[in-house]
Structure 1
Amino acid sequence: MPKKDMSTKEALLAAAREEFAEHGIAGARVDRIAQLAGVNKERIYGYFGNKEKLFDAVIQQALDEFAELTPSPGDDPVEYVGHLFDYYQEHPDLLRLLTWEGLNHRSRALPEQQWRIERCGASLGSLADRLGQDASPEVGRTLLTLKGLAMMPMVMPQLAGLLGAELDSPETIAAMREHIMAFARTALEGSTPVA
């Protein structure tokens, strides 16, 4: 019986998200996913085909949730960085899933690549508009840097620890959030048009 109040497919996606975030694509086991979901592992193959396609579905679901809850960087790029930082703090599995995806050297296109291109293009366009520029590789580098500021403390906690910048209390988390927002504000000062 799947987890209470979940369809079999939802239970499989929830269990797979936990398993993939912890173990990656290669280390994840369909037996553990099925057991955690409370279903027979054949249901995984029936719904998704194989483990890689299940991972793709998990990534798509996580990115859909992220897109739904994330403001446009063009609204306020500094607040955008703070929002991303908060989101990554509350959803560390997304960063882990994306890291595993990056480490899994697949030669084919990313799952839902066209949706990702459109979403990234919309973010790039909104930031370019805010900066009074055309969408360009330079604005793309700026957006990538803003995203990197927000995620780096969670992606490399060992480095944060070595530098004395652990995120081990509400106070240190708040201090890091303010620091990255101040850093983004300073970096963007010359780029943002005066309103």
Structure 2
Amino acid sequence: MDTAQASDGAPARTTRERIMAAASTELARAGFAGARMETIARLAGVKKQVIYYYYPSKVELARAVLEKSNDDAAGLWAMFPTSTLSEICHAAIDQSVESSEGVAHLVWEGQEYANEHSSDFPIGPSRAANLQKIVAVVKAEQSAGRLPTNIAADYFGLLIVLLTTAPAILPQVTDIIVGRNVQDPEFAQGWHALLDHVLEALHP
């Protein structure tokens, strides 16, 4: 059940991988509340019952998608211990632009998190630890004299996350205010330049 033959001779994706890819696409498009298992099954090329063979519920499938989205950003998380805040921020901007589905998952996860009547999507330990790494980086920058010490590291860490993801989270606002699509290379160039100016202005 978990294998398929690719017509071009390349390694075929397993049934589980096809389900995960389809679920990622559908959740990014419709959010958790609007995502339909029938659509995921159609996109994956399987019967709906096959999805439940691997994932007992829509919630379990959505949790798996969130965890995979975190794993897909492993390269970014791995930078944190050895890179400067500037290097991490520029990589995070590129990640948010290149991984539109990953950003979309953050949006619907946030909606579910804020809704007390929603399904339970606890942030796993590995994801929480990754997000907390930004605070350690800010503190390291303060110790190195590249950021003022009177800035709260946790709040500034949150600001950095928002600064590097907001244009992708709100592409319509980006288009209206800047007049460019978030996927436009010229927009990315301008956003990178703004980030440099912000960090330079904060240098003690």
Matching residue of 1:193:
none
Q: 1:158 aligns with which of 156, 166, 172?
A: 172
What secondary structure sits across from 1:49 in the alignment?
A: coil
Q: 2:131 aligns with which of 104, 111, 120?
A: 120
CA offset digits 1:163-186 (Å, max 9, x no partner): 234236322321222212322332
CA offset digits 1:47-70 (Å, max 9, x no partner): 111111111100100011113334
| Alpha-carbon separation, structure 2, partners of 1:165 and 1:84 | 22
For structure 1, which runs of at least 5 residues remain unmatched after alignment?
191-195
Q: Are residues 1:95 and 2:115 paired?
A: no
Matching residue of 2:9:
none
Q: 1:177 to 1:122 in 2, by over 3 A?
A: closer
CA offset digits 1:90-119 (Å, max 9, x no partner): 10111111100111124746142x222322
Pick 1 or 2: higher relative contact order, CA cutoff 8 A, min separation 6.
1
Deviation at 1:120, TM superposition (A): 2.8
CA offset digits 1:10-40 (Å, max 9, x no partner): 1100010000000001111111111111111
Aligned CA RMSD, in angstroms, stands at: 2.4
Q: Which moved more, 1:100-109 or 1:23-32?
A: 100-109
| Alpha-carbon separation, structure 2, partners of 1:170 and 1:118 | 31
Q: 1:183 to 1:30 in 2, by over 3 A?
A: same
Q: Does structure 1 conserve the Cα–Cα contact (< 8 Å) formed by 2:135 and 2:157? A: yes
Q: 1:25 to 1:89 in 2, by over 3 A?
A: same
Q: Are residues 1:48 and 2:55 paired?
A: yes
TM-score (norm 1): 0.84
| Alpha-carbon separation, structure 1, partners of 2:136 and 2:119 | 28
Q: Does structure 2 conserve the Cα–Cα contact (< 8 Å) formed by 1:81 and 1:184? A: no
Matching residue of 2:148:
none
| Alpha-carbon separation, structure 2, partners of 1:68 and 1:181 | 22
| Alpha-carbon separation, structure 1, partners of 2:4 and 2:28 | 20
The correspondence of residues 179-194 of structure 1 with structure 2, limited to 5 A, is 179-187=194-202, 189-190=203-204
Deviation at 1:88, TM superposition (A): 0.7
Matched residue type, 1:154: A
Matching residue of 2:147:
none
What secondary structure sits across from 1:163 in the alignment?
A: helix
Q: Are residues 1:173 and 2:201 paired?
A: no
Matched residue type, 1:103: Q
Q: 1:182 to 1:176 in 2, by over 3 A?
A: same
| Alpha-carbon separation, structure 1, partners of 2:75 and 2:5 | 25
Q: Does structure 2 conserve the Cα–Cα contact (< 8 Å) formed by 1:16 and 1:54? A: yes
Matched residue type, 2:122: L
What secondary structure sits across from 2:83 in the alignment?
A: coil
Q: Are residues 1:129 and 2:140 paired?
A: yes
| Alpha-carbon separation, structure 2, partners of 1:14 and 1:116 | 20
